[in-house]
Structure 1
Amino acid sequence: MGFFDKLFGKKEKESLDQGLQKTKEGFLSKISKAIAGKSTIDASVLDNLEEALINADVGIDTTLQIIERIEERVKKEKYVGTSELNHLLKDEIQNVLQDADETYKNFEIPADKKPYVILVVGVNGVGKTTTIGKLAYNYTKAGYSVLLGAADTFRAAAVDQLTIWSERVGVPIVKQAMGSDPGAVAFDAVQSAVAKGVDIVMIDTAGRLHNKTHLMDELSKIKRVIQKVIPNAPHEVMLVLDGSTGQNAVEQAKQFIVATEVSAITITKLDGTAKGGVVLAIANQFKIPVKFIGVGEQINDLLVFDKKEFVDSLFTLQDA
């Protein structure tokens, strides 16, 4: 699939660098302040570094883990100057992130799972429906056929928005009237995908969190009806989180992980926030792969998450 032979080309790198700009500005300025006038990494440098990480919404637990690892390395090595701090920090940030699954890097799906069923979950307003549209675009570019299921039937806007995306990307959609049974929509979508020989079916779900028991019951029901058509589906449960909400995104993740078996995470809206460090907090705390990140409003601004590229970009400020 030549379109994705080079995961991070020039355009992808530019999108990532621009998308993380607000996070980098605050983060790198605080690191510079932490080492100002210092020749070695001492307690005050580490204290300031800890503050910089927490302010970037890396989270207390992940921050302490990174700081402790840096302390250990400083103790082991006879001399570590502040000039080496960025290198140490980049290493330890990468170490708290999981290695990426090579398969999804090229937007590939397992050959033995067709249709490949992705259940997309997340609260209202996080960019869930937009993420589905952008994923559909990427999968079609990779050569797959895609079908969308509009199972968020409690909001007319959700169905309308997904319909617009289906038309924009040029993929079919299965939908019913507002207030219809979400399970029935999911069942029809999967059944239609099987009948038409579609490669991938993505199902949007309602994003209500006011009652976790109800949410769990609803998602469980959707899974059961899907499995009447494909016994081992869904093959992936994708949780979409809004990176601009910082630690609130971590709390949302906790609730959805309790409600359903989340297997992958997409973090959106990183371009509009200085809290991009929340990616590290989420990836480290839940040990669930962050597969995609949203760094802008354009259709190409949903990127595969690559921990090395992410960390490299975090430490590279663009010229104004």
Structure 2
Amino acid sequence: MPEVDIREVDSAEVEAPPVEVPESEIPAVVVPPEKAPQEQPEAEVPPVAAHVTAQEEKLGFFSRLRRGLGRTSDNLVQGLGNLFLGRKEIDDELFEELESRLLMADVGVDATLDIIRRLTQRVSRKELTRPEALHGALREELLALLQPCEQPLDVRGHKPYVILMVGVNGVGKTTTIGKLAKHYMESGKSVMLAAGDTFRAAAVEQLQVWGERNNVPVVAQHTGADSASVLFDALQAARAREVDVLIADTAGRLHNKDNLMEELKKVVRVMGKIDPSAPHEVMLVLDAGTGQNALAQAEHFQQWVGVSGITLTKLDGTAKGGIIFAIAKKLALPIRFIGVGEAVDDLRPFQAEQFIKALFDNDNAPV
């Protein structure tokens, strides 16, 4: 059985599509938790935030969510009371200012126009007569936009249930995998990880650290190996061990690079040779800080591999969290998880009402 060989690969290797290998020719290494490396992987995406204080760990998730959405709240809802205060009527000027605020918060053109249209209709029906009433009405419309996307991922029905993680470079896929592993372990599921990101030298090592931390096995090959081959072996191993959930990493790839997207399609085809229904979830990881570019990423990945769910990360580091509304309106895909920090518990299943409450919680709402 070959050892996992961690080596640097240059950018040319990353761009080049792998040779077509319909099934695994090199047996993958299943790394048991106790043999995983102890050293810290690349600093830009640490497995856990070492600086998380004991006080922060004691905060409930809602408190962390509210804090994480602080910049988005400042950009979107803070000061709405002042916008409505002193106005005697709801007029076109008020709607124009509200529209500008929504667009500046990356809510997106389609979602913004839909919200303004629905609010205008409510004014026409005399349901809203005072400017202050728009505050509550806006909150209701934003909630209504998100609620259809609140669809928790149910991993029952297949064993193993295969989650294929996809996304561009730097969105936090590997870190998200580690947090998902913890989430499913805590819910009583057995988990296996597959190191399908064979281009980035530190990716295998990073995933092994997560495996050791969560006490789950990691299937890996050497850097530069065929990703489809690794995931083929991982699915075989997961079936043999009767694992509940297999979470498969893939290399970050630009959504507009056709050769890399073709390689992703190959991964799906190869896994289907073992289980025609696999992968059961193609989870696209998006960085909230990329704003409207996240929509373009999602549309391309959806076109190539059929995205079935979204995890939105890094909501705590951006004022562009309004992108979640653009995603809900434009894509109508389930939002499975949201991330509002670096700690393991800062990734949670998406709940629309909780999200809206956290967003509006610190606003000086009119009374």
Match of 2:303 among 254, 258, 273: 258
1:241 aligned onto 2:290: no
Structure 2 counterpart of 1:52, one-letter code: R
Contact 1:155 1:178 in 2 (8 A): yes
Q: Using the alignment, how far apart are the partners of 2:87 and 2:256 within structure 1?
A: 52
Aligned counterpart for 1:109 among listed residues 145, 155, 158: 155
- Greater alpha carbon shift after TM alignment, 159-168 vs 187-196: 159-168
Query: What is the aligned partner in structure 2 of residue 170 from structure 1?
Result: 215
Query: Which segment drifts farther, 57-66 or 156-165?
Result: 156-165
Q: Which aligned runs of 4 or more in structure 1 are off by greater than 6 angstroms? A: none
Superposition map of 1:134-145 within 5 A: 134-145=179-190
For 1:38, the aligned partner's letter is R
Number of the residue aligned with 1:25: 74
Q: CA deviation at 1:26?
A: 2.2
Could you tell me which of 342, 348, 352 is aligned with 1:297? 342
Per-residue deviation at 1:100? 5.0
**Aligned twin of 1:309:** 354
The answer to whether the 8 Å contact 1:98/1:287 transfers is: no
Gaps of 5+ in 1: 1-9
* Residues 1:38 and 2:84 aligned together: no
User: What is the root-mean-square deviation of aligned Cα atoms in Å?
Assistant: 1.9
Check 1:300–1:318 CA distance in 2 against 1; reply closer, same or farther (3 A cut).
farther
Helix, strand or coil for the counterpart of 1:205? coil
Distance 2:227 2:61 in 1: 36
How far off its partner does 1:208 sit? 1.4
Q: Which amino acid aligns with 2:77?
A: L
Higher relative contact order (CA 8 A, sep 6+): 2
Q: Which moved more, 1:21-30 or 1:269-278?
A: 21-30
Q: Tell me if the contact between 1:17 and 1:318 (Cα under 8 Å) persists in the aligned partners.
A: no
Q: How does 1:179-198 map to 2 (within 5 A)?
A: 179-198=224-243
* Equivalent-residue separation in structure 1 for 2:256 and 2:119 (angstroms): 42
Post-superposition Cα deviations, 1:158-200, rounded to whole Å, max 9, x if no partner, equal: 2221111111111110011000000110001110000001000
Spell out the pairing of 1:1-320 with structure 2 (5 A cutoff).
11-77=60-126, 79-100=128-149, 103-104=152-153, 108-110=154-156, 112-209=157-254, 211-317=256-362
Stretch of structure 1 that moved more, 132-141 or 227-236: 227-236
Q: Deviations over 1:42-100 (max 9, x none)?
A: 21111111111111110111101101100000110165212211211011112222435
Matched residues in 2 for 1:114 and 1:23: separation?
Answer: 39
Q: Say if 1:249 and 1:78 are closer, same or farther in 2 by CA, change over 3 A.
A: closer
For normalisation by structure 1, the TM-score amounts to: 0.91
The 3 A distance-change label for structure 1 pair 211 and 312 is: closer
Q: What is the aligned-residue identity percentage?
A: 49
Structure 2: tracts of 5 or more residues without a match? 1-58
